[in-house]
Chain A
Amino acid sequence: MSPSPSLAQRTPLYAQHLTAEAKMVDFAGWEMPIHYGSQLEEHHQVRNDAGMFDVSHMVVLDITGSDATDFLRYLLANDVARIQTPGKALYSCLLNERGGVIDDLIVYFMAEDKYRMVVNAATRDKDLTWIRQQALSPHKKGRDVKIRERDDLAMIAVQGPNARDKTHAALGANINAARELKPFFAADCNDSKSDLFVARTGYTGEDGYEIILPAEQAGATWEALLAAGVKPIGLGARDTLRLEAGMNLYGQDMDEDVSPLEAGLNWTVAFTPEDRDFIGRAALTQQKTDGPANKLVGLILEDRGVLRAHQKVITEHGEGEITSGSFSPTLGKSIALARVPTAATEHCQVEIRGKQLAARIVKYPFARNGKSLFD
């Protein structure tokens, strides 16, 4: 047996993480900051002020060509026909034929023949293989679609109630085109010095931007944001923030054996217009008719303890499982996302180390825009 030669990759902001005394960990083959001292403080920093995440490990794909729209309407469960306005963003699942989730992503409409897609780092290889396979499938021969991976780009997410103001202060006239953006829209902000793609999107439940930019401009942009009072935030707080915001994490809350209908993502599947053929449609239509056996719910632990992924959930209508769980810094209690039988409501027990603790079934999100949504 030979040892695996693969070394963890580093983002263009690696030096900045070391300067900020980050604790670095391996994440999907990347050396990434898990925290810079205290995950809890970083969490509150984003809910109360402004923080930034290096998310350069995420994968940016540019999809171009005269058949790009038709191709994406077939590839994705959500319908890009809904975003035919420059800069408009759409969240969608990428499904297999069984309706299972290969990945979740955001796609931006730039022009009829130009889209930008951001997919997860951990699923890069299988996503690219799948997408290219679909683009080349024999019955779509001669179709004009090009898929280009933009590994020349970095990505910084700036999130929090003061994130936009501080970003405007840090980047000045460079991002004038972003100032008037509505939520879930993006704009290109180019001048002689910089080339930023700025989107008013995120993964925290707070307002803010995700900035995609050339790798060589990442360091200077990070430092300008730092000087404007935006603090670096690690992947640890990113996970508790997205959990409070009720946002699914691919590989934990859904995967290839779970359909969007069982992952609380019904709203991202465009069944209309009925004549749009998309991958997984037949399987999802069947599941919708039969009624899905399970649903994704929020849990709040009423006893003391911490909910964690894979703990057993016991309801009056059968058993379920926690898919993501942690301590919620905003609520000061433990919360989770769990997949439970569709009929389950209100009360359940969670098995933690052989003991059954009381939990409440709730509708997520748990927190947004700086506030807890529960007492």
Chain B
Amino acid sequence: MSNVPTELKYTKSHEWVRTETDGSITVGITDHAQELLGDMVFIELPETEANYTAGDECAVVESVKAASDVYSPITGEVIAINEELADAPETVNEDAFDTGWMFKMQPEDAGEIDELMSAEAYAELIAEEEH
């Protein structure tokens, strides 16, 4: 069973979202997602200052097996990316919820964050997928 930290918010497409004290959010893919994808070998991150609408494709993770899209969980602007991942994509496998973060965004409407899935709902979703 995958790890699902309770303090984070989640999407159906397996991104996690952490709200920071300054109102920005940090985004990555879940432990469950990295486990499904397998060994990461390349991660294409968005450009900083790029704007996305919730649900837009904004990054790509490539494992040995296949390429998968990462979707913007909310509408807003990219304010930082995790440049460490360029040389160490395996960080996403090793530590999906912390040092494996992918990008930070400034939300247009903070209310959108509340509409994301709770840890409980996400844990249910992946339990269903596993059956």
Enumerate chain A interface residues (CB-CB to B < 8 A).
34-35, 38-40, 43, 236, 240, 304-306, 308, 326-327, 329, 334, 353
Would A38 and B44 count as touching, CB distance under 8 A?
Answer: no
Would B65 and A236 count as touching, CB distance under 8 A?
Answer: yes
Would B64 and A305 count as touching, CB distance under 8 A?
Answer: no
Would B86 and A304 count as touching, CB distance under 8 A?
Answer: yes
Would B42 and A306 count as touching, CB distance under 8 A?
Answer: yes
| Closest chain A CB from B49 CB (angstroms) | 19
Complex-state Cα separation, A39 to B90, whole angstroms: 13
Complex-state Cα separation, A306 to B63, whole angstroms: 9
Would A40 and B64 count as touching, CB distance under 8 A?
Answer: yes
Residue of A nearest to B65 (CB): A236
Known: A38-B39, A40-B64, A306-B41. 20 other contacts (CB 8 A): A34-B65, A35-B38, A39-B39, A39-B64, A39-B65, A40-B39, A43-B64, A236-B64, A240-B64, A305-B44, A306-B42, A306-B62, A306-B67, A308-B66, A308-B67, A326-B64, A327-B62, A329-B64, A334-B42, A353-B44
CB neighbours of A34 from chain B (8 A): 65
Which residue of the partner chain, among A38, A39, A304, contacts B42 with CB atoms under 8 Å? A304
B81 interface residue (CB < 8 Å to A): no
| Closest chain A CB from B12 CB (angstroms) | 22
Residue of A nearest to B66 (CB): A308
| Closest chain B CB from A87 CB (angstroms) | 36
CB neighbours of A39 from chain B (8 A): 38-39, 64-65
Interface string of B52-90 (1 = CB under 8 A from A): 000000001010111100000000000000000010000
| Closest chain A CB from B88 CB (angstroms) | 13
| Closest chain A CB from B129 CB (angstroms) | 14
| Closest chain A CB from B21 CB (angstroms) | 34
Complex-state Cα separation, A306 to B40, whole angstroms: 11
Complex-state Cα separation, A236 to B64, whole angstroms: 8
Complex-state Cα separation, A40 to B94, whole angstroms: 14
Interface class of chain A by DSSP: mixed
| Closest chain A CB from B32 CB (angstroms) | 13
Enumerate chain B interface residues (CB-CB to A < 8 A).
38-39, 41-42, 44, 60, 62, 64-67, 86
Would A327 and B67 count as touching, CB distance under 8 A?
Answer: no
Complex-state Cα separation, A96 to B105, whole angstroms: 57
Q: Which 5 A-B pairs have the closest CB atoms?
A: A327-B41, A306-B62, A40-B39, A39-B64, A306-B42
CB neighbours of A38 from chain B (8 A): 38-39
| Closest chain A CB from B90 CB (angstroms) | 8
CB neighbours of A43 from chain B (8 A): 64
Complex-state Cα separation, A327 to B38, whole angstroms: 13
Complex-state Cα separation, A39 to B39, whole angstroms: 7
Which of B38, B60, B64, B67 has the most C-beta atoms of chain A within 10 angstroms of its own C-beta? B64
Complex-state Cα separation, A236 to B65, whole angstroms: 7
Complex-state Cα separation, A329 to B86, whole angstroms: 16
Complex-state Cα separation, A308 to B66, whole angstroms: 8
Would B42 and A236 count as touching, CB distance under 8 A?
Answer: no
CB neighbours of B44 from chain A (8 A): 305, 353
| Closest chain B CB from A47 CB (angstroms) | 14
CB neighbours of A304 from chain B (8 A): 42, 86
Residue of B nearest to A306 (CB): B62
Complex-state Cα separation, A43 to B60, whole angstroms: 24
CB neighbours of A327 from chain B (8 A): 41-42, 62, 64
Complex-state Cα separation, A180 to B66, whole angstroms: 41
Which of B38, B66, B67 has the most C-beta atoms of chain A within 10 angstroms of its own C-beta? B38
| Closest chain B CB from A328 CB (angstroms) | 9
Complex-state Cα separation, A238 to B65, whole angstroms: 12
| Closest chain A CB from B2 CB (angstroms) | 14
* CB<8 Å pairs between A and B, sample of 21: A38-B38, A38-B39, A39-B64, A40-B39, A40-B64, A43-B64, A236-B38, A304-B42, A304-B86, A305-B42, A305-B44, A305-B62, A306-B42, A308-B66, A326-B64, A327-B41, A327-B62, A329-B64, A334-B41, A353-B44, A353-B60
CB neighbours of A353 from chain B (8 A): 44, 60
CB neighbours of B60 from chain A (8 A): 353
CB neighbours of A236 from chain B (8 A): 38, 64-65
Complex-state Cα separation, A306 to B61, whole angstroms: 10
CB neighbours of B86 from chain A (8 A): 304
Which of A39, A43, A327 has the most C-beta atoms of chain B within 10 angstroms of its own C-beta? A327
| Closest chain B CB from A227 CB (angstroms) | 27
Residue of B nearest to A329 (CB): B64
Complex-state Cα separation, A35 to B62, whole angstroms: 17
CB neighbours of A326 from chain B (8 A): 64
| Closest chain A CB from B20 CB (angstroms) | 29
Complex-state Cα separation, A153 to B81, whole angstroms: 53
